[in-house]
Amino acid sequence: MLFPVVALGQVIGTGGTNTNGSNSGAIITGVPFLNITPDSRSGAMGEAGVALSPDVNANFWNPSKLAFLENNNSLAISYSPWLRKLVPDVSLSYLSYAHKVDDRNSIGASLRYFNLGSIQLVDANQQDMGTYTPSEFSIDGSFARKFGKEFSLGLTMRYIHSSLYNGSFSGGQQTSAVNDIAADVSLFYQHPGELFGKPSLFAFGTNISNIGPKINYTSGGQNYYLPTNLKIGAANTLNIDEYSQLTVTLDINKLLVPTTRYDASGNITSGDKSVPSAIFGSFSDAPGGASEEFKEISYSPGLEYWYNKQFALRAGYFYENPSKGNRQYLTLGAGLKYDIFDLDFAYLAASQQKSPLANTLRFSVLINFLSGKPKTK
């Protein structure tokens, strides 16, 4: 199979599609796979998850939720064939683990692996030089602590490896694999109450992820920001009766990197700011002012219905402004809880028929080990 992986692996295929499915109008960052939704539960709810009830996949969405896990040990495995309308062998795999140390403290670990498929290599004379399989992965370690009965904070450290080139030359410059580190900071709050005369649980969460140094694939070439990202979300769960439970949630999302600008030659000229300056400046650097800044926010409303805490139906919608990536799609899914296992499935039905994300599937298996209650501290 032959397809170009352009610049930092941001673009797949010949139509300017980024590896996260957005179009060429999206803000350019390094290692964009870090923000691709890995699990099926949130994938079926419009890719909302920062304030959902805690499970082991909180390692990705909001690590501070790990402090509220009910089981001592949990493990999840997720898999998604990716961009199958463009290429047949790109995929995202995710492994997540959590351990509740005591009633206040939890730790988590996760591995993300993004396989970009096989590339046919040719030299300047179009002579066959074999194939190469670019890939990227990250390894996370998280710690979450509960403060009181309703509030928690979380901290994550991340190692990132991106091997998009095989040491060849690109634009006359030597290329190499990239290694970097990053951090996430997160919080979670939940409060029981009453809605329509029924017991309910309100939750709020936020996570700033991928805070770290810029990366460079070539000697003396363009530096790229990590996809530093702000997620803010709220969810409300209503216990309709002894069998039925309904959750309504909404996430908003914004990249905390400079708005992408280009010179006459098509080179990125967003400015070489420090990472802290770029994060704070990302709220006011868009050329179009406040109206363009609001266009850089994406929205993820979602619904989840549980029957008898054994069977779930889910739906959601993801909206991104047409000028800032143009990802717009309906998501659907289902979940089944059997003994210690949770089986989840998600389907992405893109609203644009030609969208590379159309008909994307996600599969997840969660295992909740039923050990004794954690120690009180």
Q: Round to whole Å and give the CA distance between 143 and 127.
A: 51
Q: Are 33 and 150 in contact (CB under 8 A)?
A: no
- HEC string for 78-119: EEEECCCCCCCCCEEEEEEEEEECECCEEEEEEEEEEECCCE
Q: Which of 73, 46, 41 is nearest to 57 (CA)?
A: 41
* pLDDT value for 32: 92
Average pLDDT, 10 consecutive residues per value, the chain (377 residues):
40 60 83 94 96 96 96 95 82 96 96 86 60 89 96 98 70 74 98 91 97 85 89 96 95 92 64 85 87 93 96 96 90 94 92 72 90 54
Class of domain 32-369: mainly beta
- Taking the C-alpha atoms of residue 120 and residue 122, their distance in angstroms, rounded to an integer, is 7
Sign of CA dihedral 42, 53, 340, 93: positive
pLDDT score recorded for residue 6: 40
**Where exactly are the structural domains of the chain?**
32-369
Distance of CA 117 to the CA centre of its chain: 20
Handedness of CA 311, 315, 316, 322 (dihedral sign): positive
C-alpha 38, offset from chain centre: 6
Distance CA(24)–CA(224), nearest Å, equals: 16
Residue 70: which of 305, 342, 308 has the closest Cα? 342
Closest CA relative to residue 111, chosen from 33, 18, 165, 186: 33
Report pLDDT for 126: 63
Q: Which two tokens stand for residue 331?
A: 């998501």
* pLDDT for residue 370: 65
Tell me the DSSP string of 210-253.
Answer: EE---B-SBTT---B----EEEEEEEEEEE-SSSEEEEEEEEEE
Q: How far, in Å, CA of 9 to CA of 11, rounded?
A: 6
Q: What are phi and psi of 345, to 5 degrees?
A: -140, 140
Please state, in angstroms and as integers, the Cα–Cα distance from residue 20 to each residue in 10, 33, 53, 105, 360, following that order.
8, 6, 25, 33, 12
pTM for the whole structure: 0.88
